[in-house]
A and B are shown apart, each in its own frame.
Chain A
Amino acid sequence: MSALRVLVGCKRVIDYAVKVRVKPDKTGVVTDGVKHSMNPFDEIAMEEAIRMKEKKLASEIIVVSCGPSQCQETLRTALAMGGDRAIHVQVEGKEYEGLQPFHVSKIFAKIAQEEKVDLVVLGKQAIDDDCNQTGQMTAAILDWPQATFASKVEIDSGSLKVTREIDGGLENIKVKLPAVVTTDLRLNEPRYATLPNIMKAKKKPLTVKKPSDYAVDISPRQEVLSVEDPPVREAGQKVESVEQLVQKLRDAGLVA
């Protein structure tokens, strides 16, 4: 069985350790000057692809990111982890604000076809929008099978054996290649990029493209009306006794 060509999507998102703030005009969250990093689930996707390459099950890893020029930092991180080539699909400013999984999945599908990829690995969702749509949409456009929320992936001559994390527990499925996999938290623990690899990554090829290069129309499909903070949590109340607790519940009409 020949080694797989793998496409990994990496999204540049606000770092999860940052305190997110809503913009005063309520059109979105503050992103200027805020620390960004690779979506944690995409790091897991990268790690999985690199492990396949280390086992000689994958031959080449192409990393893709759609967004403003800063995405190239994210791509360099992916290359430092072990990616071979990077494609930056440049989308700036206002256009980027309107970019949705619907558009991104079309771009990924086109790239997958152009690059003759056998496996697309994506994070299950991005931590900024929590959409959990790109993987599924990409598979649909390509008409490929999808194995989402993967917590274990094994290659078995032309197919993948995937363990999925579902509400009831774990589900084991078998999907034929080529396929789309989305990664869940327990799939692996992403490595730190080593210094020699960070140095090497600077020389790895990074091509810049536009959505139009893939004949994808990225005009926005939805309009954000407003973004607001969740309601402030009210202080809890401490009671001295069980009787008091029952009385308070009665007063609130929660018990008879």
Chain B
Amino acid sequence: MSAISGTKLEHGGLFFSGVGINMNIIMQLLLARVTFRFSCQVRYFHIQQKKLAVELTRIRYPNLKRGPYANICDADISNFGKLLPGKGRVITDVTELEGYNTDWLKTCRGSSQVVLRPKTTEEVSALLCYCNDRRLAVVPQGGNTGLVGGSVPVFDEVIISTELMNNIISLDEVSGILVCQAGCILANLDSYLKDHNFTMPLDLGAKGSCHIGGNLATNAGGVRLLRYGSLHGSILGLEVVQANGEVIDCLSTLRKDNTGYDLKQLFIGSEGTLGIITKAAILCPQKPNAVYVAFLGCDSFNRVLDVFQKSKHMLGEILSAFEFMDSASMDVIRNNLKMPNPIADFPFYILIETSGSQGGHDEEKLNTFLETMLSSQLVKDGTVATDMSKIEALWSVRERMAEGLMHDGYCYKYDVSLPLMKFYNLVEDMRHHLGNRVTRVVGYGHVGDGNLHLNITTPAYSHEIMDLIEPYVYDWVAHHHGSISAEHGLGFKKKQFIYHSKTKSAVRLMQAIKKVMDPNGILNPYKTIPDAS
């Protein structure tokens, strides 16, 4: 297989004896071109392209060491083929691999040579058993929409994708309990549930691509956490495959089951390092009969907090989302995505969503609330949407932020939990700290949950800018006793900052658990928690 031999040269050959040789990237490419001409036509053309793929993670971070894992060989590929019969289940084509190897943010790129696509739990079990015996490192991958480089390989880890595990197994229409495979796309689940008058208990911008397995592995938050709570509460059961291939069936569909340690909680948020989630049982809330969205403009961040307080008081049980954006964020929407500002220009914008069972009641509550906000001048202007299409249009102003930021080039993305009084100070401080060196500094996010999305953009990645930002931003957050990663997780990019938010003894216990559950360390290595040294 020419693609495999091509890479073998890369790993075991002259240029990379051991890892950590920091070669000039141009030299590498030149030399690579010479060797590739003899091996793989496709690869040669690929490197020729001016619009080059993202820099390889192992090159951008040259101090990384590849762990004591085996190297993939032809026999492995052939064995994988036997374990996963049928077409398109073992992907080795270089151009196809690019998408799987690169993260959505285009900041991390691995060099995996194979993507495996199982359809059943049994197949996942067989694959992991094999990889564990062979000491092959594995990266579980769902929709690959993660924002901390947790879903792509760092070196040549085997990618196990849940793409083909997309069956909805059952829905109990009385209790609202949905059982499905881990590869179901969130938007598809929501659409299926809506037909039966239910809704998923979480919602996020990546819904069209993310898999529920990935959402669970990262304990995704999203825009409706305010209303439906965290996944730790909505998940009733999980089926997980351990590193050695053993299947742990905790797929309970019971609302209450206090029999022994609640293992599923360990896997939720474990970012694929303790096991591969294959099925989930989810408690789904009723689909709301009436949804309204208001988009409001405020003079200052303190006004935003005032409105938040009042909204909890006056809208209370019907409040289902409370998001904010600053004017720099609106610039992104306007300039990069060419979408108009729904209202006039203000320093801050709030998006409030209400969901309830009776339209008339909710509209009255919302109207009273909005009249009070306007007359007290807490809110300067705004608009309300009651039509589905207008509601979607208003939501997209907030939900497409991440996409809009990508247009600037490279996005340094931070997701932190902070006490509300200090919330926006971080954004102002970073703006001051970075000055003209960056394109823009924006702040937006789930102010209702105390979760700020701080984003800084530059035309291209720069070590200098990165060094200016990190660890400054994490130190700032730690100083205010916040979390350095509210919902995005640690993945690859934030792993080394775990001590900013967790104590040494806590991390030691995490490492002990990891050792018990994955003695060979094959599950998503180089991620989430530091290695026990």
Interface residues of A (CB under 8 A from B): 15-18, 35-38, 40, 73, 189, 192-196, 198-199
Smallest CB gap from B342: residue in A? A192
B374-390 vs A: 1/0 string, CB under 8 Å? 10000101111111111
User: Which chain B residue has the least Cβ–Cβ distance from A36?
Assistant: B387
A15 adjacent to B381 (CB under 8 Å): no
Cα-based distance from A21 to B112 in the complex (angstroms): 46
Contact A194 B387 (CB under 8 A): no
B-side contacts of A17, CB under 8 Å: 388-389, 392
B319 interfacial contact with A, CB 8 Å: no
Task: Tell me if B348 counts as interface (CB < 8 A to partner A).
Answer: no
Chain A proximity of B307: nearest CB distance (Å): 13
Of A37, A194, A199, which one neighbours B389 at CB under 8 angstroms? A37
Query: What is the interface of chain B, defined by CB distance below 8 A to chain A?
Result: 294-296, 340, 342-344, 370-371, 374, 379, 381-390, 392, 394
**Contact: B388 with A192, CB < 8 Å?**
no
**Residues of B close to A195: CB separation below 8 A:** 294, 296, 370, 374, 379, 381-384
Q: 4 other contacts beyond A194-B381, A195-B370, with CB at 8 A cut-off?
A: A37-B387, A192-B390, A194-B382, A195-B382
Tell me how far the C-beta of A187 lies from the nearest C-beta in chain B, rounded to whole angstroms. Answer: 15
Give chain B residues whose Cβ lies under 8 Å from the Cβ of A38: 387
A192 to B296: give the CA distance in the assembly, Å: 12
Report whether B381 and A196 are in contact in the complex, using a CB–CB cutoff of 8 Å. Answer: yes
Distance between Cα atoms of A218 and B374 in the complex (Å): 44
Report the nearest A residue to B295, measured CB to CB. A192
- In the complex the two chains form, what is the Cα distance from A194 to B390 in whole Å? 13
B390 touching A37, Cβ below 8 Å: yes
Tell me the smallest distance from the CB of A244 to a CB of chain B, in Å. 14
Q: Which of A15, A38, A189 has the most CB of B within 10 A?
A: A15
Chain A residues, CB < 8 A from B381: 194-196
Residue of A whose beta carbon sits closest to that of B195: A19
Q: Which chain A residues lie closer than 8 Å to B388 at the CB level?
A: 15, 17-18, 35, 37
CA distance A38 to B203 in the complex (A): 27
Given A192-B342, A195-B370, are A16 and B389 also a contact pair (CB < 8 Å)?
Answer: yes
Best-buried of B383, B385, B387 by chain A (most CB within 10 Å): B387
> How far does the alpha carbon of A43 sit from the alpha carbon of B392 in the complex, in Å?
16
Q: Which residues of A have CB within 8 Å of B340?
A: 189
Chain A residues lying within 8 Å of B389, measured Cβ to Cβ, are 15-17, 37, 40
B392 and A194 form a contact (CB under 8 A): no
Nearest first, the 8 A-B pairs at minimum CB distance are A37-B387, A192-B383, A17-B388, A195-B382, A15-B388, A192-B342, A17-B389, A35-B388
In the bound assembly, the distance between CA atoms of A38 and B386 in angstroms comes to 11
**Residues of B close to A18: CB separation below 8 A:** 388
Complex Cα distance, B374 from A18, in Å, reads 32
CA distance A40 to B370 in the complex (A): 26
Q: How far is the CB of A63 from chain B (nearest CB, A)?
A: 16
Contacts of A15 in B (CB 8 A): 387-389
Chain A residues near B383: list those with CB within 8 A. Answer: 192-195, 198
**Residue of A with least CB distance to B375:** A199
Cα–Cα distance between A31 and B47 once the two chains are bound (Å):
56
Q: B residues within 8 A CB of A189? A: 340
Chain A hits for B296, CB < 8 A:
195
The answer to whether residues A198 and B390 also contact, given A189-B340, A192-B295, A192-B343 and a CB cut-off of 8 A, is: no
Measured between beta carbons, the chain A residues less than 8 angstroms from B386 are 37, 73
B295 A196 Cβ-Cβ under 8 A: no
A24 shortest CB reach to chain B, Å: 15
Residues of B within 8 A of A37 (CB): 386-390
**What chain A residues lie within 8 Å of B370 (beta carbons)?**
195, 198
Can you list 28 A-B pairs with a CB-CB distance of less than 8 A?
A15-B387, A16-B389, A17-B388, A18-B388, A37-B386, A37-B388, A38-B387, A73-B386, A189-B340, A192-B295, A192-B342, A192-B343, A192-B385, A192-B390, A193-B384, A194-B343, A194-B381, A194-B383, A195-B294, A195-B296, A195-B379, A195-B381, A195-B382, A195-B384, A196-B381, A198-B384, A199-B371, A199-B374
Chain A, residue nearest B379 (CB): A195
Bound: A153/B265 CA distance, A: 62
> Distance (Å) between the CB of A120 and the closest chain B CB?
24
User: How far apart are the CA atoms of A18 and B387 in the complex, in Å?
Assistant: 10
Alpha-carbon separation in the docked complex, A247 to B321 (Å): 56
CA distance A16 to B390 in the complex (A): 10
CA distance A193 to B381 in the complex (A): 10
| B contact residues around A198 at 8 Å (CB) | 370, 383-384
User: Is the Cβ of A35 less than 8 Å from the Cβ of B382?
Assistant: no
Closest-CB distance, A254 to chain B (whole angstroms): 26
Q: Could you say which residues of chain A place their CB within 8 Å of the CB of B387?
A: 15, 35-38
Closest chain A residue to B374 by CB distance? A195
